[in-house]
Homo-oligomer: A and B are copies of this chain.
Amino acid sequence: MKSDESPKATSVRTFELMWGVREQSSRGPKQGLTIEAIVRTAIELADAEGLTALSMRKVAERLGVGAMTLYTYVPGKDELIALMIDAVMSERPDRRDAEGDWRARLELVARDGWDLCHRHMWLVDVGSERNLVGPGQMDAYESELSAIAGIGLTPTEMVSVISLVTGFVGGAVRGAVQVIQEERRTGLTRDQWWEQIAPVFDKYIAYERYPTVMSTGEAESHADGPKEAFEFGLARVLDGIEVLIRSRR
**Which A residues fall within an 8 A CB radius of B?**
7-8, 11-12, 15-16, 19, 21, 52, 121, 124-125, 127-131, 138-139, 141-142, 145-146, 149, 154-161, 163-164, 166-172, 174-175, 177-178, 181-182, 185-186, 193, 196-197, 200-201, 204-205, 209-213, 215-216, 218-220, 222-224, 229, 232-233, 235-244
Contact = CB atoms under 8 A, between A and B. Distances in A.
A168 to B, nearest CB: 5
A192 to B, nearest CB: 11
Contacts of A121: 128
Contacts of A15: 197, 200-201, 204
A34 to B, nearest CB: 19
A52 B127 contact: yes
A50 B150 CA distance: 42
Question: Helix, strand, loop or mixed for chain A's interface?
Answer: helix
Given A11-B197, A52-B127, A164-B168, 13 more contacts: A15-B201, A121-B128, A124-B128, A154-B219, A159-B216, A159-B229, A160-B223, A160-B232, A163-B172, A167-B233, A168-B171, A170-B171, A238-B240
Contacts of A219: 154-156, 158-159
Nearest to A15: B200
A118 to B, nearest CB: 13
Nearest to A156: B219
Contact of A128 (B166, B177, B241): B177
Contacts of A177: 128
